[in-house]
């Protein structure tokens, strides 16, 4: 009996003590909830706006996040965003949008307050797996093909250095591609080869496509005795005008060069010299009109490397000191270009429109080039599985050709191959040849070219693994070449008689291509 009562009394005391502890904790919690800080008071809100640096317009669907957390939001059509319930503290805010450089800022959120941050995003290329189309049966990632394809980002290159011609784009920038001038004149033929000499019977120039359309790339002289010419030599001494000079670098987005056996396999034996694909610029979806006006000015100057530096040490029979062509023939040639472009687009249609004018003067005169270009590129997303693209480019190119090359009427010939001991007041470079330098400079040789290149491209994907691609295009070129030899000068074979020669060349290159992949 004693032991039972003692145990009951002990349990009663522990029960009373436990109840007191529980009551104390409960009272403390009530006071903490009533008078302590609320968890909501330790949170804040972050808001702001995201715009484009180039246009100043708000950007939609930009992903804004707090690094290291799960807090984030997307901007609306006004470029604004709001993130609520952010715990107080310091954060790094990141703005991410495809086609723009990622931006970050540091911000501090205080309890119960709103933090504000503004972003201005810069357009930038996205480094994904590069897609190429040259040398493959359709677009494919570069890492998945085994052929040698080189890609040149012309748009980025133009931001670093001035580009006046397409041949200049390739100059020393792609291994195995050789692009060098032959006579030092503007608009004249350049040597363009891929991996050196491939054939002794076929043309050495690579095949060139613009937006999937094969184009005329003639670079050799094509007029020799047009109009019953009785004087010597080709119109411009054999150098000829380079039709690649018709292209405006400001319209080009990128260039792909196919080297190796794959060129002949896919494009035939004519492609033994390689294949060059030129892709012009396009508009950007969901982007307002972006206008760009660019202008450049500079000059050409031939290197003073003629082997005639000692000529001034000699004089003719009448005491006339022979002229050195390095000092008297070489001059500065003005370069001036103007280009205006606009690009943009909405959900379904994108556009790129450009217009430009270029004037380039050679260092050895008379020689210049006046070129005007216009281009319109449209892309329409007709449905979820069909896109239609239209390209149209027009150029008017007038070249005052330099009398050069292996030519009896050439300026180089009659300045470099004469005898300085025969120098006279009338022939300061020296005599001994049939024609003087001044006679060669009096000849006016013009190439006046109109050219239109356009295409229609359709891509249709009826099934996820079944695609159709069709391209139809035309490159149409009209070239009129005129050479005028004024009366009173002396010319080979015809003496002091004058002469005018005219030649015409009309070239049409049609392209039709269909590709289905399964």
pLDDT per position as a tens digit, 402-438: 888 777 888 888 888 889 999 999 889 987 788 889 9
Query: Which pairing describes strands 386-400 and 177-181: parallel, antiparallel, or unpaired?
Result: unpaired
Is domain 39-121 classified as CATH 2.60.40.1120? Answer: yes
Decide: 407 and 237 in contact? Cβ < 8 Å. yes
271 Cβ neighbours under 8 A, 6+ residues apart:
206, 207, 258, 263, 264
- The residue among 405, 334, 331 whose CA lies nearest residue 182 is 405
Domain ranges of the chain: 39-121, 131-517
- The residue among 425, 440, 350, 366 whose CA lies nearest residue 399 is 366
Q: Is the pLDDT of residue 471 over 90?
A: yes
Q: Any idea what DSSP says for residue 246?
A: G
Task: Work out the average pLDDT over 390-411.
Answer: 88
pLDDT score, position 15: 40
Task: Work out the average pLDDT over 214-227.
Answer: 71
pLDDT per position as a tens digit, 438-455: 988 999 989 999 999 999
pLDDT score, position 387: 92
* Cα–Cα separations (whole angstroms), residue 165 to 86, 189, 359: 55, 12, 11
Task: Work out the average pLDDT over 297-304.
Answer: 90
Task: Work out the average pLDDT over 450-461.
Answer: 94
Report how far residue 413's alpha carbon sits from residue 432's, in angstroms, rounded to the nearest whole number. Answer: 12
Diameter of the chain measured on Cα atoms? 157
pLDDT score, position 144: 47
pLDDT per position as a tens digit, 80-109: 998 988 888 889 999 988 778 889 999 988
Q: How many residues does the chain have?
A: 518
Report how far residue 496's alpha carbon sits from residue 499's, in angstroms, rounded to the nearest whole number. Answer: 10
- The residue among 85, 113, 97 whose CA lies nearest residue 51 is 97
Report how far residue 454's alpha carbon sits from residue 214's, in angstroms, rounded to the nearest whole number. Answer: 10
Query: Which pairing describes strands 499-517 and 213-214: parallel, antiparallel, or unpaired?
Result: unpaired
Of residues 9 and 321, which shows the higher confidence score? Answer: 321
pLDDT per position as a tens digit, 102-134: 899 999 888 888 889 999 998 875 544 444 555
pLDDT per position as a tens digit, 134-175: 555 455 545 445 556 778 888 778 777 777 788 778 877 777
Quote the tokens at residue 105.
Answer: 């800022």
Q: Is the pLDDT of residue 21 over 50?
A: no
pLDDT per position as a tens digit, 349-360: 999 999 999 999
pLDDT per position as a tens digit, 334-343: 999 999 999 9
Q: Is the pLDDT of residue 18 over 50?
A: no
pLDDT score, position 510: 95
Residue 350 sits at the vertex; the CA angle it makes with 344 and 354, to the nearest 5 degrees, is: 60
pLDDT score, position 397: 95
Report how far residue 275's alpha carbon sits from residue 91's, in angstroms, rounded to the nearest whole number. Answer: 52
* 498 bridge partner residues: none
111 Cβ neighbours under 8 A, 6+ residues apart:
41, 42, 43, 44, 88
pLDDT score, position 58: 87
Lowest mean pLDDT among 84-98, 210-224, 225-239, 360-374: 225-239
pLDDT per position as a tens digit, 237-262: 667 788 888 999 999 988 888 876 66
59 Cβ neighbours under 8 A, 6+ residues apart:
50, 51, 52, 75, 79, 97, 100, 121
Of residues 512 and 285, which shows the higher confidence score? Answer: 512
- Kindly state the percentage of the chain with pLDDT values over 90: 31
pLDDT score, position 72: 86
Phi, psi torsion values for 102, nearest 5 degrees: -65, 135
Please confirm whether the linkage preceding 456 is cis (ω < 30° from 0): no
Torsion of CA 23, 27, 29, 34, to 10 degrees: 160
- Kindly state the percentage of the chain with pLDDT values over 70: 83
Q: Is the pLDDT of residue 391 over 50?
A: yes
- The residue among 418, 287, 430 whose CA lies nearest residue 350 is 287
pLDDT score, position 20: 46
- Band (473; pLDDT cuts 50, 70, 90): very high
Report how far residue 382's alpha carbon sits from residue 365's, in angstroms, rounded to the nearest whole number. Answer: 53
Q: Is the pLDDT of residue 57 over 90?
A: no
* 311 bridge partner residues: none
| Secondary structure element (H or E) that encloses residue 357, with its range | strand 349-361
Which of 110-119, 390-399, 456-465 has maximum average pLDDT? 390-399
pLDDT score, position 379: 93
Average pLDDT over the chain reads 81
pLDDT score, position 509: 94
Global pTM reads: 0.70
Of residues 193 and 477, which shows the higher confidence score? Answer: 477
pLDDT score, position 171: 79
């Amino acid at each position: 009996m004693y032991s039972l009562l003692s145990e009951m009394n002990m349990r009663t005391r522990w029960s009373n003590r436990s109840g007191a502890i529980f009551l104390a904790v409960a009272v403390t919690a009530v006071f903490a909830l009533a008078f302590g800080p609320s968890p909501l008071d330790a949170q804040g809100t972050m808001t702001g706006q995201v715009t484009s640096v180039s246009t100043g317009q708000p950007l939609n669907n930009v992903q804004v996040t707090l690094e290291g957390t799960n807090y984030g939001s997307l901007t609306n059509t006004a470029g604004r965003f709001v993130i609520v319930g952010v715990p107080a503290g310091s954060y790094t805010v990141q703005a991410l949008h495809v086609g723009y450089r990622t931006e970050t800022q540091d911000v501090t959120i205080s309890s119960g307050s709103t933090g504000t941050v503004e972003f201005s995003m810069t357009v930038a290329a996205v480094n994904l797996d590069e897609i190429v189309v040259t040398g493959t049966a359709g677009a494919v990632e570069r890492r998945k093909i085994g052929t040698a394809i080189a890609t040149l980002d012309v748009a980025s290159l133009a931001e670093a250095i001035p580009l006046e011609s397409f041949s200049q784009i390739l100059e020393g920038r792609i291994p195995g591609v050789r692009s060098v001038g032959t006579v030092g004149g503007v608009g004249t033929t350049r040597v363009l080869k891929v991996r050196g000499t491939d054939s002794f019977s076929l043309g050495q120039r690579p095949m060139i496509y613009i937006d999937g359309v094969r184009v005329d790339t003639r670079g050799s002289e094509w007029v020799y005795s047009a109009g019953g010419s009785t004087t010597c030599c080709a119109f411009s001494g054999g150098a000829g005008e380079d039709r690649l000079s018709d292209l405006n670098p400001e319209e080009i987005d990128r260039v792909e060069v196919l080297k190796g056996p794959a060129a002949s396999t896919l494009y035939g034996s004519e492609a033994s010299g390689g294949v060059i694909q030129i892709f012009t610029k396009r508009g950007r979806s969901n982007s307002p009109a972006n206008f760009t006006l660019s202008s450049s000015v500079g000059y050409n100057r031939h290197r003073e490397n003629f082997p005639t530096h000692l000529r001034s040490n000699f004089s003719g029979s009448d005491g006339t000191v022979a002229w050195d062509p390095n000092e008297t023939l070489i001059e500065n040639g003005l370069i001036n270009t103007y280009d205006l472009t606009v690009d943009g687009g909405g959900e379904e249609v994108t556009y790129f429109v450009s217009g430009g004018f270029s004037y380039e003067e050679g260092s050895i005169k008379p020689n210049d080039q006046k070129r005007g270009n216009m281009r319109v590129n449209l892309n329409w997303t007709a449905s979820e599985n069909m896109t239609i693209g239209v390209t149209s480019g027009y150029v008017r190119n007038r070249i005052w050709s330099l009398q050069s090359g292996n030519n009896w009427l050439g300026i180089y010939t009659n300045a470099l191959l004469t005898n300085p001991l025969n120098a006279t007041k009338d022939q300061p470079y020296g005599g001994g040849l049939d024609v003087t330098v001044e006679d060669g400079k009096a000849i006016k040789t013009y190439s006046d070219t109109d050219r239109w290149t356009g295409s229609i491209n359709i891509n249709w994907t009826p099934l996820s693994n079944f695609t159709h691609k069709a391209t139809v295009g035309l490159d149409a070129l009209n070239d009129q070449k005129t050479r005028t030899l004024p009366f009173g000068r002396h010319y080979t074979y015809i003496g002091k008689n004058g002469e005018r020669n005219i030649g015409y060349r009309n070239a049409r290159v049609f392209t039709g291509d269909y590709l289905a992949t399964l």
